[in-house]
Amino acid sequence: MLAVNGLHANVGDKEILKGLDFAVAPGEIHAIMGPNGAGKSTLSHVLSGREGYTVTAGTATFEGQNLLALEPEQRAQLGLFLAFQYPVELPGVNNTYFLKAALNSIRKSRGETELDAVSFLRLIKEKLKILHLDDSLLKRAVNAGFSGGEKKRNEIFQMALLEPKLAILDETDSGLDIDALRVVADGVNALRSPERSMIVVTHYQRLLDYIQPDYVHVLAKGRIIRSGGKELALELEEKGYGWIDAEGQAA
Amino acid sequence: MTSMISNGFSHWLATAPNTRDSAKLDWLEAQRSAAREQCIGLELPTNKAEAWRYTNLKSLLEQDFTPAKAAIPALEGDDLDKIFIPELVSRRVVLINGRYVPELSALGDLPTGVHIGSLCALLENDPDAVRSRFNQSAIHSPFIALNTAGFNDGVVVLFDCAAVLEQPIELIHISTGMNQPQVAQPRHLIVLGDGAQAMLIERYIGLEDAVYCTNAVIEIALGRDAVFRHERLQMESAKAFHLTGLSLNQDANSRYLGVNIGLGARWSRTELVTQFIGEHAECDLQGLYLAGDGQLMDYHLDVTHAIPNCNSRENFKGILYGKGRAVFDGRVLVAKDAQKSDAAMSNNNLMLSEGAEVDTKPQLEINADDVKCSHGTTVGQLDPEKLFYLRSRGISAPLARRMLCLGFAGEIIHRLHEEVLRDYVTEQVGQRLESAPLN
C-alpha cells in the first residue's frame, strides 16, 4: 500500500529525514517511535503534503502512485488521512459543513454521488457513537474552543467518517489523560480492518498498550535505526531511547 | 482652483419632493433652502480633508448625474424574483429610484401605535408628525445637505411608546430603468417611543448593470428602553455609487443593534454617527464588507459618548480581493463627564491578493478618566495551517479558501437576526468569493 524508499527531506537547509525505508501492507499497523527531534512529525507532514518541506531524494508510493507529486487534497482523495498532533481551530467554520464538504469532495473525486443532507446526517450520527461524541459537536465550529481531548476525538471521528485506506496518527496520545486515551484508542481499534492500514507515530509506548502494532520502527536523527515487532516497544519503554541511541552509535 | 459642492452636484439639488399638491410647508422649504445655501457655500472635499483622505470624489464627479425621474418603471415577474427573499416574513416597503411604491409594498395590518409609510405622504397629511424630528442629523456631510435639499421621498417609521412589531420591517430600495446616470435620494426617519421595539432590514438592489447613485439619509431616534435592530444590506449594481448618512440618537437604556453588510457598488461610502442622550444605552455596530476589482468600500463611524454609563461596540470585518479597496475610519469620542463609558472598536481585514488595499484608522479620544475603552485592527492573510488542515481532508484549495473566508465573515453574518437572511447573505458572499480571483 505504502512504500517509502530512501526518503530524504529538508526544512530550509536543514536535513531532517536522512534516508527512510519502510513499507506498509494492507491491514497492517506500524508504530513509528522516537525521541523528540527524530523527524517523526516531519515524516507525517511530508507524507500528507504539508508545505515547508523539500524532499531531496527518495520516493513515497501510495497504491502505485507517486505520493510526493500530489496536492494534499489529492492524497486525501486517494485515501490518505492525517490525524494531526495539533488539530487546527477553524473559528466560524461549522463542523457539519466542514465534514460534509470533506466527505463529498472525496466521494466526487472517486466518481461517487455526493450525499444529500439527510443521508449525511444519518451517517454522521452513526459515526459519532463510535467516539462517544455528543450531537452538539455538529453545531460547533471546527475544533474552536475544544478541549485537547475533544480535538483528538474529533480527529478520529473524521477518520471514521472519511474511511481512509491509510491513516497516519501523529502523536495522537499527546496531551491526553488516560481516560481520553482509552476512548481515542477504542475509536481507532473500531476502525481496524484487513483493508485499512495505520501508521501510529508516538513518543511513548503507552498508546501501544491500547493500539497494538504489527511492526515497530525506531526513528532517530532522521533514520530508522531499528525495526521489530511490538516487543520492541516494550524494550524501549524499559531501557529508554538512550539504549538504542548508544547501540546506534556503536553500530 | 477650488470647486464648490453646488457646482459639482448642481443636478442633485434640483429634485423637488414628491408631494402631490402644492401645499408647501414653510418650515420644510426653509430647511431645504438652507441646505441649498450650505451646498453653495461648501467646497468640495479633497484628499486634504481628513475624512476624505483615502476616498476620491473624482469618479463620482465625472458622472453627469441627473435626478431620478418621477415616473416609476414597471417591474417584470423576473425582476421581483431577483428582489424578494421568498422565506423572509416581513412588513415590506418598496422604493423604486428613491420613491415609495405602494403597489409593491405589503405592510399588512399594523398594530395600534405603529405607523409605517411614505415620507411625502406624511408631509402632506400630517406634517406635524415629522416636523420636530426631521433633519436633526448631527452629520456635517455635504451629502446630507444635498439630500435635504433634493430628497425624492422616503419612509417614516413611527412607534408610539411601548409599541412592538414582531416581524421585521423590510425596506427594499430598487434602482432600475436608468438609461442615463441618475441619482436617487431617499430620506428615512425612524422614531421609536419609550419601550418600543422594532426591527428594520434595509436592502439596496440594482436591477441592471447601470451607472446610478443612491444618496440615502436615515435619521433614527430611540426613546428610553427602546430596542431597535437595524440590518443593512448594500447590494447595488457593479457600476453604481452608494452613499449612506445615518444618524442615531439614543435615550436612556435603549439598545441599537446594527449590522451593515456591504457587497455591491463600485464606490460606496457609509457614515454612521451615533450619540447617547441618556445613560445606560447600548449601541452595537457590526459590519462586513467585500471589495474586489474596481470596488471601494468606505466606512466612517463617529460614536460619541457624551453621557456616562453607556456602552458601544464597533466591530467591522473586511475581505478584499483583486484590486479591491476599503477604508475604515472609526472614531469613538468619550467626553469629559462620560464616566464609566465602555467602548470597544475593532476592524479586521482579510487580504486575498497583493493588489488589494485597506486604509484602517480606528481612533479613541478619551477625555474621562474612569472608562473601559479599547481598539484594535488587523490586516492579514489566510492562515496556511488552516488551509492545509482543510486540504488534508480532501477539500480543494479554492473551496478551502472560500470556507475560511466564510468562517471569517460568519462572525458578522451570525449577528443577523433572521436565519433566512443569514443563509441569504452567506450565499451572496459565497457567490462573490467563488468568482473572485483568489491570488
AA letter at B41: G
A96 touches chain B (CB under 8 A): no
Nearest residue, CB atoms, B388 vs list A50, A101, A102: A50
Give the model confidence (pLDDT) of A184-199 as tens digits. 899 899 999 999 999 9
Which strand (E) or helix (H) includes residue B295? none
Averaged pLDDT, B388-417: 96
DSSP type of residue A171: S
For domain A2-201+212-230+238-250, give its CATH number from 3.90.850.10, 3.40.50.300, 1.10.1740.10, 3.40.190.10.
Answer: 3.40.50.300
Its pTM stands at: 0.91
Q: How far is CA B424 from CA A126, A215, B94, B263, B264, in A?
A: 31, 53, 19, 13, 15
Give the model confidence (pLDDT) of B252-288 as tens digits. 999 999 999 999 999 999 999 999 999 999 999 999 9
Residue-level pLDDT at B387 = 97
Burial B37-63 (b: 16+ CB within 10 A, else e): ebbeebebbeeeeebbebbebeebeeb
Give the model confidence (pLDDT) of A117-170 as tens digits. 999 999 999 999 887 888 888 999 999 999 988 899 999 999 999 999 999 999
The pLDDT confidence band at residue A246, using thresholds 50, 70 and 90, is low
AA letter at B387: L
Min Cα separation A52/chain B (Å): 10
Cβ contacts from A onto B, under 8 A: 78
| CB contact (8 A) between residue B403 and residue A158 | no
Q: Is B288 helix (H, G, I), strand (E, B) or coil?
A: strand
Q: Is B70 helix (H, G, I), strand (E, B) or coil?
A: coil
The pLDDT confidence band at residue B11, using thresholds 50, 70 and 90, is confident
Q: Which residues of A touch B406 (CB under 8 A)?
A: 92-93
Averaged pLDDT, A10-21: 94
| CB contact (8 A) between residue A73 and residue B391 | yes
CA torsion B63→B64→B67→B68, rounded to 10°? -60
Q: What is the mean pLDDT of chain A?
A: 92
Nearest residue, CB atoms, B397 vs list A73, A97, A102: A73
Express the helix, strand and coil content of chain B in percent, nearest 5 each.
Answer: 25, 40, 40
| CB contact (8 A) between residue A90 and residue B388 | no
Q: Is B354 helix (H, G, I), strand (E, B) or coil?
A: coil
Residue-level pLDDT at B63 = 86
Query: Using CB atoms and an 8 Å cut-off, which of residues 6-35 of chain A contact chain B?
Result: none
Of B328, B348, B391, B390, the C-alpha closest to B54 is B328
CA distance B12 to B14: 5
CA distance B296 to B138: 25
Count how many Cα atoms sit within 13 Å of the Cα of residue A210 in the half-sphere of its side chain: 20
Min Cα separation B38/chain A (Å): 47
Q: Is the dihedral angle over the CA atoms A197, A45, B403, A156 positive or is it negative?
A: positive
| CB contact (8 A) between residue A92 and residue B409 | yes
Q: Which residues of A touch B382 (CB under 8 A)?
A: none
Indicate whether A250 pLDDT > 50. Answer: no
Residue count (chain A): 251
Give the model confidence (pLDDT) of B403-439 as tens digits. 999 999 999 999 999 999 999 999 999 999 998 866 5
The pLDDT confidence band at residue A251, using thresholds 50, 70 and 90, is very low
Q: Is A174 helix (H, G, I), strand (E, B) or coil?
A: coil
Q: How far is CA A14 from CA A9, A18, A38, A170, A248, in A?
A: 9, 10, 13, 21, 21
CA distance B197 to B353: 42
| CB contact (8 A) between residue B411 and residue A92 | yes
C-alpha cell at A236: 524501549
C-alpha cell at B125: 397629511
A93 touches chain B (CB under 8 A): yes
Min Cα separation A219/chain B (Å): 24
Q: State ipTM.
A: 0.96
* Residue in B378, B390, B423, B425 to test binding to A, most A beta-carbons within 10 Å: B390
Q: Which residues of A touch B391 (CB under 8 A)?
A: 49, 71-73, 76
Give strand pairing partners of B289.
B262, B318
| CB contact (8 A) between residue B403 and residue A101 | yes
Give the model confidence (pLDDT) of B83-121 as tens digits. 999 999 999 999 999 999 999 999 999 999 999 999 999
Averaged pLDDT, A93-110: 95
**Who contacts B433 (Cβ-Cβ below 8 Å, separation ≥6)?**
B290, B319, B321, B401, B402, B405, B406
Q: Is B181 helix (H, G, I), strand (E, B) or coil?
A: coil
CA distance B298 to B289: 9
Give the model confidence (pLDDT) of B197-219 as tens digits. 999 999 999 999 999 999 999 99
